[in-house]
Structure formats: structure tokens, C-alpha cells
Structure 1
Amino acid sequence: MNDALTQPLVRAYLASLDKQAAVLPADRRRDLVADLREHLESVLPQDADDAAVQQALDELGAPGEIAAAAIADEPGVDPLQPESSARTTVTLGMMVLAAPLSVVGIGVVLAVLAIVRIWRSPAWSRRDKRLGVIWTLSPVVVIPAAAAAFALTGGLDPTAVIGVLLIAMLVQLAGAVRLGRGAARLRPHATSTLLAE
């Protein structure tokens, strides 16, 4: 391996490219980064100094531009669009509160609204959106399964019902944390990509 590829400038450049291309399928993103790594390996001498490395990177173009071009060429992949953290928080809050509020009937409405907001949001990739829908609908499976487990072990008293709802809420909370991290990780890159345009 070319020693120039271990330079901080190259590592930062490739890491930035990988993050800004996050909406691409994983194999396509890996191929894109590998192609640029191979190109840099072929054009940079082993003892390249920072100036030579920076010149080679400048000739390639900004990571955001390369990622945007790859995203535009990938069918069915939409570029990242920034979404406010408040909007993301409201969406994920609706998702998590759907299970406990299902007792009073509002939970179903919240779940449907959360699914619509997740699916229409530009903050997540298609894979994350599918996972978000699954996590939002998880109480449909988790509540009956947990209720059956409680019923077999000691009956469904009010404490057990609260336990069932808490279990369902924890499953959704785990999904919300995962989606929240994904949106937070992608948000700065979407914003920087838009600013570069």
C-alpha cells in the first residue's frame, strides 16, 4: 500500500466522501471509496508531502461534489436534504409514544402519523425508513407476545399491563435512538452538500 494513503489529508478526504455518500447502497459506497483510494495510490508517490497530496485531492474535487455525482447516477437514491432536529425529534417522539398511548386510542393515530413522517422525511435512507416503519409497528407483535408471557406467568393485572406497554415502548425507543443517530450523523453532511451547490 502506498504510504501517501495513510496521510491524514487522504484519510480525512476518504472519510468525508464515505459520510457524504451515506445514502448510497453500502456496496456502491464502498466501491466509490475504493476507486478513489486506488486512483490516489496510482497518482501519489510514496513519499508525497502535504502539498502534493493536497494538489491531488484538489484535482479530484470536493468529496461533496463526488458524492453528489454518485448519488445522482444511482437510480432510486435521493440526495440528502437537511431536516431540523426539532422535526426529527417530534417524529421520533410520536413513534415512541404510540405504544403507551394505544391504551386511550391515540396510539394508532400517532403510529400512522409517525410512519407517514418517517417515510416522507428526507433525513433517512430508504433502509432506515423501512426499519423506522418496522419499529413503529413493532407493538403489533410485541404487545400480544409480552401480554401472553405475562398471562402465562401470573396473569394480566394492571402492573402487568403497564409492563407490557413499557416493553413495547422500549423496543420503539431503541428504534428511535437508532433513527435519531442516523439523522444526526447525516444532517451536517446534507447541509454542507447544499451549501456547496
Structure 2
Amino acid sequence: MVARTSRRTQAERREQTGSALLRAAAELVVEGGVQALTLARVGERAGYSRGIVTHHFGSKKALVDALAKASQSGFVPEAPHEPGLDRLLHLIDGYIAALGGLRTMSRAFLLLWAEATTSPDLAETFRERDEHFRTDLRADVAAGVAAGTIRADLDPHDVAVAVLGQLRGIGLQHQLDPAAVPTERLRRVVADQWRRALVPTP
């Protein structure tokens, strides 16, 4: 019984350390881009040694992979609906709403995503994250088509690419000039645009 308690405490400590390291990595990215991200600087920022960072992640690429996965989750709202039109519109609305209160982790994700277009080291990770997102979007469109709530002449892949491109683009605009991107108004405008574009004409 004592051994199980000890293992649980060790696991909790490891999780806490990992979270602190990812927060430190996100802060460095926001402050100086991916070039500012080194294992030594992450450890120093988080109050640990470089050895702890290496022990947790093994390499800078693995650290960036973990940061990409952890930071992307800040944009995607919990989906209370089954796959289909309602879930798709909920995701669009929630993603843009989240931009209004961007945390450091989410800002780091957008910066890394933009940098991935010119960095082979980052490209693979962010292609994977985008494909994961497109997969969910395609599932919503396909389910909507099957249910008759989304036009049957639309290709799920094309819609997924367009939605993801718009959301990422709005996110980057907000990063550059928050005052020019009023998220509370825009979230409803964009969701309504997609509703009108996707719903079959009576």
C-alpha cells in the first residue's frame, strides 16, 4: 500500500515538472521565437537543470512536439454535440472566442505554427497537428452530409482545409493586432457565414 502511494506521488511530481517545463518553453517562444528555445534555457526558466529537461523530453524536437500538442488544446473547445454541423459550428465559435483570452501556451502554438512554414525541423510536427485537426473537421462535415444538414455537393476535405485556414489566419491576425480582430463579434459572424455556406438550400 505504501509503495503504491509513493509511485503515485512520483508520477504527480513528474507531471508537475513536465507542465512547468512546457510553460517555460512557451514563454521563451513568445519572447524570442523558436530560436530562443534551448533545453538549457527551458530548464533555467523553469528552475530546473538542463538534465531534467533532457530526461523528460530527450531532445529539442521532442520538446517542441510536446509543446505543440499541449498548446493546441487551448483552442479546441469541448464538443457537447455528436459529429455534424452543430459540432463544427461550435468548434468554429469556440476557437475564435478563445483568441480573446490567449494564454502564453496558445500564443506559442500560433508562433510555432507560422514558423513551421520555413523550418523543416518544425514542419513535420505541425503538419501532423494540422492533419489531426482536419480529420476532426472532415468527420463533422461527412456526418452533416450523411444527416442532410450539410450540402451533399461539398467535399469534406476541402471544407476542412478552408475552415482550418480561416481559423489559423484569424489567430495570426489577432496575434499581430488584437484591437483589429474583435473576437466576440467575429466569432458569431464567422460561424454564421459557415452555417449559410454549408446548410442545404430549401
User: Which band: TM-score by shorter chain?
Assistant: under 0.3
* TM-score (normalizing by structure 2): 0.26
| Larger RCO, structure (CA 8 Å, separation 6 or more) | 1
* TM-score (normalizing by structure 1): 0.26
